[in-house]
Amino acid sequence: MEGEARVKLSQQIIEVGWRLVKSELTDGTSGNISARCGDGTSVLMTPTGQDYRTLTERDLVQVEIESGRATGRWKPTSEWRLHVAIYQARPDINAVIHHHSTWASAVAVARKTIPVLLDEAADIGPIPTATYAPSASPELAEVVLRELGSCGNAVLLANHGVVVVGRHLAEAMRRALEVERLAKIYIGAEILGGAHPLEDADVSRNRAFFETYRAGTPDGEVATDLPPLVDQAGARG
């Protein structure tokens, strides 16, 4: 992957890293981000041990989906197996974000499933917690794939964190934020006496509505929009 396409994808990954930090979903070097390259045979991902706030385009690593062969100045994120496994299993997915946000991680430690509690949450669906597996292990990729299935959008990692997927980085980032919001609502509802999930029929109805509504969005214009996190002076906020 060369030229303008790589530059654009690199900039989007770096932007998502800044958004994760700015939104307090992660800090420092924790978590990882990847996106499928235009050639469909490789992904661009964050390196291991690099702070999101100082990340540059040259720091990103390109990894072949089938072989796992990495090209770049640094090693890929330690969770590269997880990312590659998702792209292998889900051709509909073009972006993966793994983070360690506080509230979602709390639910993951409790090993609970966040049910569909709000109309708009039907887009993500239930958010299960995968069986515990060590970080960066092949077993972790296996348990995450088991919970994601063919149409899942988010999975909690027992005693670890969160994985969200999307058709592009903007969608994955929106879902990363939404999972943390839903985790807060779920915990709050449980404290107040217990959460009352939507019925399956209502979830299906809401999902159909949002899919129909979303279908009218030009995929190359609004749906993938990820405006830079810069202020009027050109400095990141």
Decide if 165 contacts 95 (C-beta within 8 A).
yes
Q: Which residues are catalytic?
A: 79
Using the structure block, give the residue that is written with the tokens 């946000």: 101
Q: Where are the alpha helices (DSSP H) in the chain?
A: 3-22, 80-89, 102-110, 138-148, 169-191, 200-215
Tokens coding 220:
């190359």
Report how far residue 220's alpha carbon sits from residue 237's, in angstroms, rounded to the nearest whole number: 26
Residue 106: C-alpha distances to residues 27, 57, 92, 231 (Å): 17, 33, 29, 33
Nearest to 91 by CA among 146, 179, 151: 151
Is residue 154 within 8 Å of residue 147, measured between CB atoms?
Answer: no
Compute φ and ψ for 146, nearest 5 degrees: -60, -40
Structure tokens at 96: 């993966």
Distance CA 54, CA 51 (A): 6
Residues 16, 2: Cα–Cα separation, whole Å: 21
